[in-house]
Structure 1
Amino acid sequence: MSCQNILVWLPSPMGDAVMATPALRCIRNLFENDKIFFCANDTVAQVLADSPFADEWITIKSHCPFAIASELKKHNFDTAILFKNSFASALAVFLAGVKTRIGYARDGRGIFLTEKLFPPKIGLFRYKPLSALDYYLAVASWLGADVLDRKLELSVNEEDKKAVIEKFGEKLNGRNPFVILVPGGAFGPSKIWPEERFAQTADFLIEKFSANVFVSVSPVKEEIQIAEKICSNAKHPIVNLGENPVTLGQLKALFPFAELVITNDTGPRHIAIALGRKIITLFGPNNPVWTENNYPNEVKIIADVPCAPCDKPVCKKDKHYCMESITANIVCQTAEKFLAGSKKTDDFAEISLNFTVRSDFVDCFSRLGLENIDDVFNFAQGKSLTKPNLASFRERIVFDTQNPTATLFLKRYQNIPKLIQLKNRLARRKKISMMACDNQPAEELRKLGINTPRTIAFGEQWQELFEKRSFIITEKIPDASSLEENLPLERENFIENLAAFVRKFHDTGFRHRDLYLCHIFCDSKTNFTLIDLNRVFKPLLFSKKYLIKDLAQLYYSAPGNSVTEADWLKFFLAYWQKDKLSKQDELLIKKIKSKARKMAKHDKKHNRTAPFEKQP
């Protein structure tokens, strides 16, 4: 068959359209010299827009077959191939005067078709379960196409890829497994797995693999609420695409970053398969045969209950037996098998003398020209964070990397005064570089359960007894801000959680000596991270003195116009784990406040106002 203008009318469900891509590829190859138009709704057009199978697109805006026919007439189509099963689509191409009209004769529309295929049936009224992939390939085969290639196929637009990297770059870092949860389902609520189980699965992946977890839902009220429930039930932060919406093109661009997709039997499942992702699909009411594609990297977890599959969009039972029979435990076990070996290690590689880099950043640093300690001290990219009052031997730079995508902070130390080096040795009771003053307590505190910035690279160089220079590169804390920038006092139990964190830090025996709010970061789930660890140490003597200093710095840096004395009482009660303060506690609080006032006097000499002093 030879045609000039060919119309291919795509199915409306997103998943069906993706499952039609093997047939579309076959048709493109068969009619490589002819002009092919794809006709589809806006959703399908966005998902398949970058695929190479069509010459032009017609996006359907109307449901009226007469209006659609009027639009189609403009193109003088010789042939219409209907993958869409509706009565209206067959009527529209008939009214448009298309000479050859090919499609399945079903639902009374056969009278409008010139070339008819008949779907297999069980008895008179029920259609036999048949994979949509084979259903559409049968049309291509009938046309005479070679249909051996059954692989689903989608293309990703580079602009969409750039957009998601810009928006979510830190989460797509290549070090932590990136997992997408798809908890919705346009078919109906019967195929939706319980929100709390998605939340349990997310927590497992975060705790076990340090995964970055996204929840993807369509922009409809019901699915947005599902995503909100998952995020509120989870103990750890999850990126909610219901609150951070992306276009369908950008969603498609996000999937190639995913190491695993966990989904109900819904449209994005097929996007994941077409883009070669590992996938776990949860089947309840739907018969898996309808969407079978023999994809090797998919595990189907199928409800084993007497009433399934029923293929009904709404469950009529007193309990949602099928989806509730799928436990979070079985999903987590399956995910663990998929991600085995994906948990990134903290292995370091010494790539040159005095230069050690986390293994997953070696190639990245090489591309940046960072291959030895000289390169680090000559590095001029990024943005300088050096402040006027920062000691001259310290320098700070922030810069971004790609593959892995990250924001990194570089601290460089050189020409360190010998007196400062001797003080560091005295406090730490050993010979130690400025870099190690940052890195060693960070590593030890992490082992003790205190979050600290992740070290990416470090190095030091000595000149006889004294340090010549050293550096440390750490990673930006994801989704967090300092308490100086954002002090969420209204957040439930925030003050108690902060007090517990500070106490836990002090219980390690360490003292910070710079424990201002700007050095404590907090994320949306009230997880705290301690930064700027260069002065952190374990005092042999005067431990209580340094504890008072830490708490005084915290008190000093809290804004007096928003943090009340009642807030501080709540803090100290939680810090000492008491219901009522003792006389000794009250005396200690007086010392803390006295120390803060002394710090404020120093500020006044320099015409500065201490944060804790109420502003007029």
Structure 2
Amino acid sequence: MTLHLEKPFDSLWSTPFDAAIAQQGEIYRSKEGRRTLQFEAQGQSYFLKLHQGIGWGEIIKNLVQLRLPILGARNEWLAIEHLKSVDVGTMTAAAYGERGCNPAKQLSFIVTEDLIDTISLEDYCKDWVTSPPDTKLKVRLIKKVAEMSGKMHGSGMNHRDFYLCHFLLDETIAADSDEWPKLHIIDLHRAQIRAKVPYRWQVKDLAGLYYSALDIGLSKEDVALFLGSYSLDLDKKCRQQIERKAMKLYLKDHGRAAVLPK
């Protein structure tokens, strides 16, 4: 059994696993043995992800499809700790627990602080085509996303759901402040951590990010700025694979070809 409780849960949850199971709140997801809900404790908002086992059938189905099944909250816990260790903005975990050896029935949970007063980059950038942002601010934001991406990949972690919607921008910090932009990478339950990110997973992450940015009016100069700020070398073949994969994702989701940056 593994258990880690920060305030206020170290005093509120005398029996943490029972408390996590019984916790009530606004449910965001309830599927495949995982429940995600928002709740309040001592006036602060939190998110709980509760994993109660996905069963052998779901595990085998994932393996047959050559997908690694998500068995519990450990992935997210480790990913949060990893990103913090390399100074990449992410969530803050307030509680984590895991018990049971049977992977099909393992019980685990993670509680994270709600990132209030934030907006996803998907929403923040969605009107850039019709209402272009200030050039200096756009440059700072692109460089920040690239730097965070490079740090994450350079440290051995890949996200597996790497899209603009999983970057949250802190709206409490003024755009003319030296601290802007402050970003948090979220939705880490599928993340993988190794000594080095395999080439194909690096391509997958960057293709997902590029795909999610194809409709916000980026220019070739913006793309070049990202590549120059990413900190890891991407050769011509790699860049071509990222573009092809992004275009393929776009065609699949939108039923039409994307217009590449000009």
Q: Could you state the TM-score of these two structures normalised by the residue count of structure 2?
A: 0.77
Q: Say which SS state the counterpart of residue 453 (structure 1) adopts.
A: coil
Name the CA distance, whole Å, in 1 between partners of 2:188 and 2:212: 17
Q: Does 1:361 align with 2:4?
A: no
Q: Say which SS state the counterpart of residue 191 (structure 2) adopts.
A: coil
- Report the CA distance shift for 1:354/1:486 in structure 2 as closer, same or farther (over 3 A): same
* Equivalent position of 2:247 in the other structure: 597
Q: How far apart are residue 456 of structure 1 and its match?
A: 0.9
* Equivalent position of 2:28 in the other structure: 385
Counterpart of 1:588, as a letter, is: C
Please, which of 412, 430, 442 is the counterpart of residue 50 of structure 2? 412
Q: Does 1:509 align with 2:149?
A: no
Name the CA distance, whole Å, in 2 between partners of 1:536 and 1:590: 24
* Equivalent position of 2:106 in the other structure: 468
Name the CA distance, whole Å, in 2 between partners of 1:577 and 1:502: 9
Q: How far apart are residue 590 of structure 1 and its match?
A: 1.5
Gaps of 5+ in 2: 174-179
- 8 Å CA contact 1:556–1:596 kept in 2: the answer is yes
Name the CA distance, whole Å, in 1 between partners of 2:222 and 2:107: 44
Q: Could you report, residue by residue, the CA deviation over 1:457-495 in whole angstroms, capped at 9, with x for unpaired residues?
A: 122231546443211110122543221121385315221
Q: How far apart are residue 401 of structure 1 and its match?
A: 2.3
Q: Extract structure 1 runs of 4+ deviating beyond 6 A.
A: none
State the identity as a percent: 27
Q: Which has the larger radius of gyration?
A: 1
Q: Does 1:551 align with 2:194?
A: no
- 8 Å CA contact 1:433–1:460 kept in 2: the answer is no
Please, which of 89, 96, 113 is the counterpart of residue 451 of structure 1? 89
Q: How far apart are residue 545 of structure 1 and its match?
A: 1.1
Q: Does 1:396 align with 2:43?
A: no
* Equivalent position of 2:236 in the other structure: 586
Q: Say which SS state the counterpart of residue 434 (structure 1) adopts.
A: coil
Name the CA distance, whole Å, in 2 between partners of 1:384 and 1:549: 30
Please, which of 147, 163, 166 is the counterpart of residue 500 of structure 1? 147
Larger relative contact order (Cα-Cα within 8 Å, sequence gap ≥ 6): 2
Q: Does 1:562 align with 2:205?
A: no
- 8 Å CA contact 2:51–2:71 kept in 1: the answer is no
Name the CA distance, whole Å, in 2 between partners of 1:377 and 1:553: 34
Q: Say which SS state the counterpart of residue 493 (structure 1) adopts.
A: helix
Name the CA distance, whole Å, in 1 between partners of 2:158 and 2:150: 11
Counterpart of 1:457, as a letter, is: A
Q: Could you report, residue by residue, the CA deviation over 1:356-388 in whole angstroms, capped at 9, with x for unpaired residues?
A: 42133334x35xxx74312322322x21112xx
- 8 Å CA contact 1:461–1:467 kept in 2: the answer is no
Q: How far apart are residue 548 of structure 1 and its match?
A: 0.8
Gaps of 5+ in 1: 1-352, 579-583
* Equivalent position of 2:177 in the other structure: none
- 8 Å CA contact 1:482–1:519 kept in 2: the answer is yes
* Equivalent position of 1:374 in the other structure: 18
* Equivalent position of 1:160 in the other structure: none
Counterpart of 2:9, as a letter, is: F
**Aligned positions of 1:428-439 closer than 5 A:** 433-439=71-77
Alignment coverage as a number of residue pairs: 238
Please, which of 223, 228, 240 is the counterpart of residue 573 of structure 1? 228
Q: How far apart are residue 541 of structure 1 and its match?
A: 8.0
Q: Could you report, residue by residue, the CA deviation over 1:111-158 in whole angstroms, capped at 9, with x for unpaired residues?
A: xxxxxxxxxxxxxxxxxxxxxxxxxxxxxxxxxxxxxxxxxxxxxxxx
- 8 Å CA contact 1:482–1:518 kept in 2: the answer is yes
Please, which of 163, 186, 191 is the counterpart of residue 531 of structure 1? 186
